[in-house]
Amino acid sequence: MKCTAAKGAAESTVKTFYIETFGCQMNAHDSEKVVGTLLNQGYSQVPTPDEAELVFYNTCSIRDKAEQKVFHRLDQFKKNGKGKTFAVLGCVAQQEGERIFEKAPHVSLVCGSASYNKLPELLVQLETGNRRVTGLSLDTDLTFETPVTRRDNPHRAYITIIEGCDKSCAYCVVPFTRGPERSRTSASVIAEASELARAGYSEIQLLGQNVNSYRDPSPAGWDFAKLLDQVGRVDGIRRVRFTTSHPRDFVKEIIDAIDANPALCNHVHLPAQSGSSRVLDSMQRLYTREQYMTRIAWMKAAKRPIAISTDIIVGFPGETEADFEATLELIDEVEYDSIFSFKYSRRPNTVALRLNDQIPEEEKSRRLTILQEKQRAIQVRRNAAYVGTVEECLVEGFNQATGQWIGRTSQNKTLNFLRRGEEDLRGLYVEARVTRAGPNSLAGECVN
């Protein structure tokens, strides 16, 4: 754990807190900011809920299963949670609001991500004995900027550049749980990247539900491609990644920026969701398969080989066997380096909830298995092509069991490698020759 700044802790009544995070990288980074805020307020973090006076769950509601997890956790404390204060943060908090107090009466704080900038005052209300505290307003232009982020990774740092989402994909709760889009000023993003570089971070990951729709609210007026390039030019920053992109807003200038600036990693995550234009239309994704493939063609024509990953949903209402076949053809045609694949899950408030022709659960499972098996074979093939090549890796850790260092390539592939000597390589950039490849990782030996 590395702390970029955490000052001003009140020395006297130190309260302990525990936090567990569910869901995406945005949530992971929100938790880093929440932890920083809590430390700054004088709280002290403990590793288990049993040791904590305050228990925070930062939740995800993207699929039903994710949502249920937090209620299982809370149930465990229904009887033996006396003396503890429970707080539900994030997407389930925003979606369920005060209903959480009915479902789990031992919860005292419910706060959505658009209200995190009010956390210090909500914590004061809790401290003064308030039993039901909420922060649920989505009516904000503000982003959650905090100088006291407590970062989990000592080498790679997340920077949020845009919060919320203005799209309305028919299956998705995010616009309801994270509110409308708000971009940060380019000056504050560059200042954070510079400060991180000074603190020793060399890799930055720019975050947003749709980073491509970033619009600098300051007079500088940068778009995403400009911001990406400029972050890659900050002294000391060696690698820049970004997630997530939306095909509708993904412009060729982003690939031009990657081509022109070696600090920008040659990996793009471009969620397709489906290979059928008919399903894409009913998902309200705002692009066709052909338009999606145009973006893929830009990447395939880039100077450096760009690794491509995606998200796919199977079993969206009305998805026929032919639509599913079109998705299988898409993954064959693109030859993704990796995919995240999900069974469609019905979510509250969304348009798809009202669509007829819901696909039975067993059929969704069947399609998911077929898709994942096909993708596994593609990854075996693609990774095998790296055998014999030399790749630059940022060393992220050491595996005691195998005696291998764990590295990550610019293309976001895990490369486990051997190296003689006692030197601690963590945080360093080394070159490794790939000698073996599996579906999910590469293996090799260090050449320097």
The residue within the footprint of ligand SF4, chosen from 92, 93, 174, 272 (CB under 6 A), is 174
The verdict on 209 binding ligand SF4 (CB under 6 A) reads yes
User: CB under 8 Å to 139, separation ≥6 — which residues?
Assistant: none
Q: What is the rounded CA–CA span in Å between residue 45 and residue 16?
A: 6
Q: Choosing among ligand SAM, ligand SF4, none, which partner's interface includes residue 311 (Cβ < 5 to 8 Å by kind)?
A: ligand SAM
Do residues 27 and 21 touch, judged by C-beta distance below 8 A? yes
The residue within the footprint of ligand SAM, chosen from 17, 18, 24, 119 (CB under 6 A), is 24
The verdict on 169 binding ligand SF4 (CB under 6 A) reads yes
CA dihedral 90, 165, 257, 235 (to 10 degrees): -40
Closest approach of Cβ 363 to ligand SF4, in Å? 22
Closest approach of Cβ 24 to ligand SAM, in Å? 5
Binding mask 118-157 for ligand SAM (x = CB under 6 A): ----------------------------------------
The verdict on 177 binding ligand SF4 (CB under 6 A) reads no
The verdict on 91 binding ligand SAM (CB under 6 A) reads no
Phi and psi angles of residue 406, each rounded to the nearest 5 degrees, phi first:
-110, 115
Nearest CB to ligand SF4, comparing residues 146 and 212:
212
The verdict on 38 binding ligand SF4 (CB under 6 A) reads no
Nearest CB to ligand SAM, comparing residues 85 and 310:
310
Stated as kind and residue range, the H or E segment containing 174 is: helix 174-178
Q: What is the rounded CA–CA span in Å between residue 274 and residue 295?
A: 15
The verdict on 23 binding ligand SF4 (CB under 6 A) reads no
Nearest CB to ligand SF4, comparing residues 350 and 409:
350
Closest approach of Cβ 271 to ligand SAM, in Å? 4
Nearest CB to ligand SF4, comparing residues 114 and 123:
114
Contact segment (CB under 6 A) with ligand SAM among 68-76, 170-178, 274-282, 440-448 equals 170-178
Closest approach of Cβ 270 to ligand SAM, in Å? 9
Contact segment (CB under 6 A) with ligand SAM among 66-74, 108-116, 343-351, 411-419 equals 343-351
Contact segment (CB under 6 A) with ligand SF4 among 169-177, 296-304, 403-411, 413-421 equals 169-177
The verdict on 172 binding ligand SF4 (CB under 6 A) reads yes
The verdict on 165 binding ligand SF4 (CB under 6 A) reads yes
The verdict on 210 binding ligand SF4 (CB under 6 A) reads yes
The verdict on 248 binding ligand SF4 (CB under 6 A) reads no
Do residues 74 and 86 touch, judged by C-beta distance below 8 A? yes
What count of Cα atoms within 13 Å lies in the side-chain half-sphere of residue 190? 18
User: CB under 8 Å to 144, separation ≥6 — which residues?
Assistant: 30, 33, 113, 116, 117, 160, 163
The amino acid at 106: H
The verdict on 73 binding ligand SF4 (CB under 6 A) reads no
In sequence order, the β-bridge partners of residue 395 are 407
Q: What is the rounded CA–CA span in Å between residue 241 and residue 158?
A: 9
The verdict on 224 binding ligand SAM (CB under 6 A) reads no
Q: What is the rounded CA–CA span in Å between residue 227 and residue 233?
A: 10
Q: Which of 163, 89, 96, 28 is nearest to 347 (CA)?
A: 96
Do residues 222 and 190 touch, judged by C-beta distance below 8 A? no
Transcribe 201-233 into DSSP letters. --EEEEE-TTGGG-B--STT--BHHHHHHHHTT
Transcribe 41-82 into DSSP letters. TT-EE-SSGGG-SEEEEEE--SSHHHHHHHHHHHHTTTTT-T
Q: Choosing among ligand SF4, ligand SAM, none, which partner's interface includes residue 175 (Cβ < 5 to 8 Å by kind)?
A: ligand SF4
Nearest CB to ligand SAM, comparing residues 36 and 247:
247
Closest approach of Cβ 175 to ligand SF4, in Å? 5
Q: How many residues does the chain have?
A: 448
> Helix 289-300 vs helix 252-260: angle between axes, to the nearest 10 degrees?
10
Closest approach of Cβ 291 to ligand SF4, in Å? 15
The verdict on 273 binding ligand SAM (CB under 6 A) reads yes
Q: Choosing among ligand SAM, ligand SF4, none, which partner's interface includes residue 63 (Cβ < 5 to 8 Å by kind)?
A: ligand SAM
Q: What is the rounded CA–CA span in Å between residue 149 and residue 146?
A: 6
**Contact positions vs ligand SF4 (CB under 6 A):** 165, 167, 169, 172, 174-175, 209-210, 246
